[in-house]
Amino acid sequence: MTNDHPLDQLIRKLPKAELHLHIEGSLEPEMMFALAERNEIVLPYASVEAVRAAYNFTDLQSFLDLYYAGAGVLQTEQDFFDLTWAYLKRAQADHIVHTEIFFDPQTHTARGVEFLTVLEGIRRALALAEKQFGITSKLIMCFLRHLSEEDGFATLQDAMPYLDRIDGVGLDSGERGNPPEKFARLFARCAELGLPAVAHAGEEGPADYIWQALDLLHSRRIDHGVRCTEDPALVARLAREQIPLTVCPLSNLKLCVVNDLAEHNLRELLAAGLCAMVNSDDPAYFGGYLNDNFIACRDKLALTAQDIVQLARNSISASWLPAEQQAFWLAEISRIARQEGVAA
């Protein structure tokens, strides 16, 4: 991948929002080893290189097995702070001005880590990034869909004292065989509590799961959603209602959702008028942060300057930033596009 393509400067200069990032998926092998040592945990790998060599995924589940195992090194509030801070420094380097972060409390509470330990470590880093880098953020609590509805309700109970620190709820983990309808009552309760919802759907699962996420969970965005193109009526609805799709190209490649990035349907989604944008999902596991995803798509999908500007715009307008802040960043994007000679 070249780094000096003329469009890469545009990619780096544009202010962007990241809306699909699992904080546990930003755990780099180096930090995994450092935290294992700090917490006196023995990893089943001899070296950082051995960990990276194991990142050869065949599907979503083969990744999740390693991702949940890796998260076992996260024990203390400081660990969650360090993890989040490392991501935020990378975000700043990629000119991410706003990020909406997922966290998976069940991965940690099941190991005896307190809900508040996780929440406070993450939130402390988010607050510092706003102060130090001006990066704004939202925090989205995800329910693990391979677990039961009952387990989800217990997690919501854990979260009840801290709902002022949680901006929304999500649904992630193994999609196949775990349809959104399994969590309709849980998401209805979250809606009563004023928590907006998003959900992973149409990553490995069928287009029908996207319909369910919209109609049964009232999901405001669809995380991934790339399988929507199997259903033209669904694509028409997503376009008409401008429901954002948080697309993660390198994730789709690494998890074999596509065999080749050149076959990815990102441009098709944009051409259909969908509010799609680019995200990194689990950057430590999938070989790239946000700008790496943009550059890989520019390279393999021949994205144009207009496509790149549109993706940046979509990231802002699909965010949960207030209207005035969205307007500010959209104006900045237009200014930079003009400066770089991109016709709007």
Ligand X SMILES: Nc1ncnc2[nH]cnc12
Is 203 noted as a catalytic residue in this protein? Answer: yes
Q: Give min distance, CB of 51 to ligand X, in A.
A: 17
Q: Which residue among 28, 77, 79, 172 contacts ligand X (CB under 6 A)? A: 172
Using CB under 6 A, which of 251, 293, 317, 319 touches ligand X?
A: 251
**Cα distance between residue 129 and residue 38, in whole Å:** 24
Residue in 82, 282, 292, 307 binding ligand X, rule: CB under 6 A = 282
User: Alpha-carbon torsion 293, 294, 296, 301, what sign?
Assistant: positive
Nearer to Zn ion, 28 or 281 (CB): 281
Q: Quick check: 300 binds ligand X (CB under 6 A)?
A: no
Show contacts with ligand X in window 175-214 (CB under 6 A). Answer: 200, 203
**Do residues 293 and 250 make contact, with C-beta atoms less than 8 angstroms apart?**
yes
What is the DSSP code (8-state) at residue 237? H
Strand partners, 17: 98
Has 20 been labeled as part of a binding site?
yes
- Between CA 130 and CA 88 the distance in angstroms is 10
CB of 170 to Zn ion, least distance (A): 8
Q: What's the longest Cα–Cα distance across the chain?
A: 56
The neighbour count for residue 240, using CB atoms within 10 Å, is 9
Beta carbon nearer to Zn ion, 8 or 283: 283
| Shortest distance, position 213 Cβ to ligand X, whole Å | 13
Site string for ligand X, 122-161 (x = CB under 6 A): ----------------------------------------
Q: Under a CB-based contact definition with an 8 Å cutoff, are residues 171 and 142 in contact?
A: yes
> In this complex, which beta carbon is closest to ligand X, that of residue 115 or of residue 209?
209
Is 200 labelled as part of a ligand binding site? yes
Q: Of 99, 115, 170, nearest to 140 (Cα)?
A: 170
List the x/- string, 260-279, binding to ligand X by CB under 6 A: --------------------
The full DSSP string for 134-188 is --EEEEEEEEETTS-HHHHHHHHHHHGGGGGG--EEEEES--TT--GGGGHHHHH
In angstroms, how far is CA 89 from the centroid of its own chain? 16
Residue nearest to ligand X (CB): 172
Which of 82, 281, 292, 307: binder of Zn ion (CB under 5 A)? 281
Contacts of residue 47, defined as CB under 8 A and 6 or more positions apart, other chains included, come to none
Shortest Å, Cβ 21 to ligand X? 9
**Rounded to the nearest whole angstrom, what is the least distance from the CB of residue 309 to ligand X in the complex?**
26
Location of structure tokens 């689990």: 282
202 near 231, Cβ under 8 Å? no
Catalytic pick from 77, 100, 203, 204?
Answer: 203
Task: List C-alpha distances in Å: 128 to 109, 136, 168, 319.
Answer: 25, 10, 21, 20
Hey, which residues between 17 and 36 contact ligand X (CB under 6 A)?
Answer: 22, 25
Quick check: 313 binds ligand X (CB under 6 A)? no
On whether 299 is known to bind a ligand per the annotation, the reply is no
Judged by CB under 6 A, how many residues of this single chain contact ligand X? 11
CA 139/CA 196 separation, integer angstroms:
11
d(CA 185, CA 305): 43
Residues annotated as part of the active site: 203
Annotated binding site for substrate: 282
Instruction: Name the residues that contact ligand X, by CB under 6 A.
Output: 22, 25, 60, 67, 172-173, 200, 203, 251, 281-282
- Residues in binding site: 20, 22, 200, 281-282
* Bind-site residues for Zn(2+): 20, 22, 200, 281
